[in-house]
Each structure stands twice: as structure tokens, then as C-alpha cells.
DNA sequence: TAGTGGTCTAGACCACGTA
DNA sequence: ACGTGGTCTAGACCACTAG
């Protein structure tokens, strides 16, 4: 005997509408049946219909216009979702990080500008080598404003991804992480650290972190060997759809 | 006289709870006040409270556990959102694309594998040069299965981003876009097209598109001059929070 | 058994848009 | 004036978790 799984009504409404959209019954820009029509059709109440439509809106299928109706949205193919932190590129979380240097120093002008620091403020500089399967795959440099009396725990410095490290002492939420991805030719210093020849292409991932008050609280670059590291992203629309359909 | 903007009650509930989370009253893992408690506190009904909590859940602040309670979630710093299509990297949409080649041909083994094509199926190959302010900034190669009787419109080929192009004839929704980002050294052919020297670092953006039935329907690579093109991403958590707070 | 979240009802009133 | 979506009520019953 199989077990009947009864899906909530609002979920069935959402599914039905999606099926009809995919079947071409409603095209982008079209108006869906009004909420009261759907209430009649499914013999249910307004809140239930709205709960179903809310699912569609979350998945990006729908745009509600007060006073007019619910309309099918054009899908966005240009929004991508990516999962990334420094530890994703190494295989062994414990063995994979070699701490090269931790220093408190006066920042050079570039770093000072990036962190919007007043003069005479010092920064913590952190240099790490990321190793995957006995192979150095990335060279990592991070800068944080130095705040007196905030101790740095070695394990944190070594193993915690930058965003988490910076967010830890302060606001956990509302931390903005701006990432820039580019390619660069390898310079002499990094070439030595990574054991490759100068001029080789590197995948460079730059991170800039902001507090809830929009103040810069961290800046850093990750220089990755192009033969070992690549980034992956998937259309956000697709991920939302999958989440929706798996209830 | 100013106009009073009255926010819906469910929105104020959501705001209040967020403020309390940010103030540290509730930490990740903590249980929030139960729905019935919130009903009493705000002197409202269950559906209104739940509407407020639904906002928090969408923004990633909340996890509901049936039979137990609503719990504060740990923020995710590793999920990033990126906006990208080929046309984003050029300044002038109309002048910026030079069509180099459109051919229908037998695929080489790599392309055949990527598109999971049976033998004797042909592919459309599309080569374009992307130009920004009189400067060639990227070389673009795309492959699509050739389907008889589906005309290719020149304007589409020239100006429409790949995902849209491929989705157009077929399912608009449920198209999966898998993107891989890496760095590569420039080869002879691309060096000539982009006017740079061989060996220069390139930012390479590879796209693989799938239909709703998970069949590959497009594959391509975009080779970008590293001195002109970079990608930007922002933490997904932050974007969701902004959306929520701006109602 | 008592408390929790999840679903659902059958209404109400409002602001907005169109004709 | 009428139809639309947006907010909200005051309950109900259910399934799940816990002591």
C-alpha cells in the first residue's frame, strides 16, 4: 500500500498555474485569472489563493499590480547565484591552510583608501597559502582595520572564511560582501609562492566587506592558480523554481 | 503638512523582530516568541503574524520547525548574486557587436559531447566580437544544436544574449544556465581578434544551457580581455535584506 | 496533555485603476 | 460604479514535539 501525500491546496494552485504558464496558456505579460475567479475555481477562500500566488511571486513568475491584476513576469536569465568562500577551493579544511604572515602595520595608500581609514590608523594584514592535495592553489591577502583590545585567535585566522571572520566581532547580519572577479598575470612574488612561472594567468577574486552602516571593514584578494580553481554559478531563476517545486 | 505613511501591521512586526535580532536580543539558534505570543503582543490575529514571519523567512533570518517553534537562522556569507550576460560588458548595445561567423557544421567531439548530440547531428556555430568604445574587449563562441526549419534571424543572432536566444524557441521558463568562470592564457587566434599578445591572461566565462528536460541546448565560451572586463557579485543575504526593508 | 507551527474559512474594509 | 489586489479578523482543525 502506498501512502497518499496530500499537498496543501495553496500548493496545488501554484503548481496548476505554473503548469499552465509552461504549457503556454499564459505568456509573459498576460494577466492571470483574478483572485476571486481562482477562489471560485478551487472553491476556496481568498487567503488560500493568495498563499498560492505568493509562491509564484517568490519564484519570479509573477508580478502583482494593485488595482489591475496579477501578471506573468518575463524570466530573468541574467541573474546568477554562486556559492563561494575561500575554503571552498581546498579539499581538506584542516590541512589546507598555511598561515604565512600576520602583521599589524601602517597601510599603504591603496589599502588606506579601500578601507576609508583616517591617518595613523593601523591595519591587520593576513597572508595565507591555500593548499589542495599537497599543491599550493591560491595565495590570499586580507586587510582589516586594527581595533585595540580585540584579540585575534589563531584558529580563526587560519580557518575561518574572510566574511565570517570580519562579521564575527560586530554585526552578524547586514554585512555586505562585494566581490570582483578578474584575470591577472602572475607577478614574481606570487609566482614563487604558487610554484608557477611569472606571467601565468591567475583568477583573482577580490572581496570588499561593509558593515551595516556601510563602512568598509575588510578588503582582500585571492590569487588562484587558473589550472586548479574555477568558479561556478547557476541561474537564480532555476534555483528558485527547484526550491518551489520540492515544496 | 507631511503625509503619514501607514505601514501594514505585518510589516511592522517583521521590522521589530529584525531590529531585535540585530540588537542581539535573539541570536542565531534562538527561538523567537511563539506565534500566539506575538498575536497577543501586537493584539492581532495569527494570519497577520504569520505574514510578518514569512517576510523574515524570505530574507533568510528565520527557520520554522513544525511542533517546535521559529528559530533565528545563521546568516550565509557564501551565497553571492551576480548579474551577467554578454551585453553587460559592452557600452553600446547597437554598435558593440560584430558578427564574425555563422555556420552550420558537424561538431568536433568536444562540442558533440557537451551538447550530448547523437552522431550526424549538426550544430550552429556563432562567433562574435564584442566591442566597447572602439575597443575589441571579448571574443565569443557559441554552439547550438541545429534544428531544421527553425530560422535564425540576423538581429537575434547579433544582439540577443545567449540564454535568451536559446530559450526563445522552446520553453521560456525552467531554462538552466550553468556558468563556469576561469582564467586562461590567450592563444594565437584570439590574440589576433582582440589585438593583444598571445599568453596574455583572459577571463573566460563558459555557459552551458539546459532545457526543462535537462537536455543541453547550448554551450559557449566568452573570452574577455582582462584589462577591460571584470565580474561583480554581491552577497545574496544583503540583497534580500535590502529588498525586504524597502518593502 | 499542552504548546507549537501549518492550513483554511468566510467574511470585512481599504486603496487603486478603468471606464 | 465596479473589479482588482492588499490587509486583517476571529475563529477552526490538523500534525508534530515534548514532558
pLDDT in tens, A52-103: 999 999 999 999 999 999 999 998 999 999 999 988 888 877 778 899 999 9
Residue for grid cell 594584514: A125
Q: Do B164 and B106 share a domain, yes or no?
A: yes
B55 neighbors A57 (Cβ within 8 angstroms): no
| Phi, psi (deg, nearest 5) at residue B44 | -140, -175
Asked if B238 lies within 8 A of A61 by C-beta distance, the reply is: no
Residues A223 and A136 in one domain: yes
B19 and B40 assigned to the same domain: yes
pLDDT for B116: 94
Does the distance separating the beta carbons of A178 and B200 come in below 8 Å? Answer: no
Nucleotide nearest to B36 (CA to C1'): C4
Q: How far is the CA of B14 from the C1' of D13 (A)?
A: 27
- Within 10 angstroms of residue A92's Cβ, the number of other Cβ atoms is 12
Q: Which residues contact B153 (CB under 8 A, 6 or more apart)?
A: none
pLDDT higher than 70, residue B234: yes
What is the model's pLDDT at position B180? Answer: 98
Pairing of strands B79-83, B97-105: unpaired
Please give the mean pLDDT across all residues of chain A: 91
Angle subtended by helix axes B46-58 and B9-22, to nearest 10: 50
What lies within 8 Å, CB to CB, of A135 at 6+ separation is: A228
Report the percent of chain B where pLDDT is more than 90: 72
| pLDDT tens profile A134-146 | 899 999 999 999 8
CA dist., res. A14 & res. A241, Å (int): 12
**Residues B96 and B71 placed together within one structural domain of the fold:** no
Domain membership flag for residue A107: yes
For residues B97 and B161, give the distance between their C-alpha atoms in angstroms, rounded to a whole number: 11
Protein residue nearest nucleotide D5, by CA to C1': A66
Residue B1: what pLDDT? 47
Other CB atoms within 10 A of residue B45 CB: 10
- Do A41 and A124 lie in one domain? The reply is no
Scanning every residue of chain B, which has its alpha carbon at the shortest distance from the alpha carbon of A239?
A: B176
Most confident of A5-19, A138-152, A153-167: A5-19
Judgement on whether residues A125 and A58 belong to the same structural domain of the protein: no
Give the SS3 label for residue A2: coil
Asked if residue B175 has pLDDT above 80, the reply is: yes
Compute the C-alpha angle A147/A153/A158, nearest 5°: 110
C-alpha cell at A206: 577580490
φ and ψ at residue B6, rounded to 5 degrees = -90, 115
Residues 6 or more apart from B20 whose CB is under 8 A from it? B26
Identify whether residues B241 and B202 lie together within a single domain.
Answer: no
Question: Is A113's CB less than 7 Å from nucleic acid strand C?
Answer: no
Model confidence band, residue A177 (pLDDT cutoffs 50, 70, 90): very high
Any A CB within 8 A of B77 CB: yes
CATH number, residue B193: 3.40.1410.10
Does B95 reside within a domain?
yes
Residue A174 and residue A112 share a domain = yes
In a domain, B21, yes or no: yes
Distance B9 CA to C14 C1' (A): 14
CA-CA distances (angstroms) from residue A220 to A110, A205, A244, B55?
12, 8, 36, 33
DSSP letter, residue B237: H
End-to-end CA distance of chain A: 24
Nucleic strand C near CB of residue A11 (< 7 Å): yes
Asked if residue B209 has pLDDT above 50, the reply is yes
Answer whether B64's CB lies under 8 Å from B95's CB.
Answer: no
- Does A146 reside within a domain? yes
Q: What is the dihedral of CA B98, B104, B108, B114, to 10 degrees?
A: 80
Verify that B124 and B41 share a domain, yes or no.
no
Average of per-residue pLDDT across B59-63: 95
Tell me, yes or no, whether B140 and B88 share the same domain.
yes
- A47 close to B51: Cβ distance less than 8 angstroms: no
pLDDT at B4 over 70: no
Nucleic strand D near CB of residue A7 (< 7 Å): no
**Distance from the A220 Cα atom to the nearest Cα atom in chain B, whole angstroms:** 15
Residues 129-188 of A with CB under 8 A from B: 161, 163-164, 167, 171-185
* CATH code of A51's domain: 1.10.10.10
Helix (H, G, I), strand (E, B) or coil at A210: strand
Domain limits at A13? 9-77
How far apart, in whole angstroms, are the C-alpha atoms of residue B191 and residue A160? Answer: 40
Distance of alpha carbon B37 from alpha carbon A196, whole angstroms: 62
Here the cell at position A68 is: 489591475
Residue A10, CB, strand C, below 7 Å: yes
Contact criterion met (CB below 8 Å) for A124 and A152: yes
Residue-level pLDDT at B204: 98
Q: Is A185 a domain residue?
A: yes
Q: B197 and B138, same structural domain?
A: yes
Amino acid at each position: 500500500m502506498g501512502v497518499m501525500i496530500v499537498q496543501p491546496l495553496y500548493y496545488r494552485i501554484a503548481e496548476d498555474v505554473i503548469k499552465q504558464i509552461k504549457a503556454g496558456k499564459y505568456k509573459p505579460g498576460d494577466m492571470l485569472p483574478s483572485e476571486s475567479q481562482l477562489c471560485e475555481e478551487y472553491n476556496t477562500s481568498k487567503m488560500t489563493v493568495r498563499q498560492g500566488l505568493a509562491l509564484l511571486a517568490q519564484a519570479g513568475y509573477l508580478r502583482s499590480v494593485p488595482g489591475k491584476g496579477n501578471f506573468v513576469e518575463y524570466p530573468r536569465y541574467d541573474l546568477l547565484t554562486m556559492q563561494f568562500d575561500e575554503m571552498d577551493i581546498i579539499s581538506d579544511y584542516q590541512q589546507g591552510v598555511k598561515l604565512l604572515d600576520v602583521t599589524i602595520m601602517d597601510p599603504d595608500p591603496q589599502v588606506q583608501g579601500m578601507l576609508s581609514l583616517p591617518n595613523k590608523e593601523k591595519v591587520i594584514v593576513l597572508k595565507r597559502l591555500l593548499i589542495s592535495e599537497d599543491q599550493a592553489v591560491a595565495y590570499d591577502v586580507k586587510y582589516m582595520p586594527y581595533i585595540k583590545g580585540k584579540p585575534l585567535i589563531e584558529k580563526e585566522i587560519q580557518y575561518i572564511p574572510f566574511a565570517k571572520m570580519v562579521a564575527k566581532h560586530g554585526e552578524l547580519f547586514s554585512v555586505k560582501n562585494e566581490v570582483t572577479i578578474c584575470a591577472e598575470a602572475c607577478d614574481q612574488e606570487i609566482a614563487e609562492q604558487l610554484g608557477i612561472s611569472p606571467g601565468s594567468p591567475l583568477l583573482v577574486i577580490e572581496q570588499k566587506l561593509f558593515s551595516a552602516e556601510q563602512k568598509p571593514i575588510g578588503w582582500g584578494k585571492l590569487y588562484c592558480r587558473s589550472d586548479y580553481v574555477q568558479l561556478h554559478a547557476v541561474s537564480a531563476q532555476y534555483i528558485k523554481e527547484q526550491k518551489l517545486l520540492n515544496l
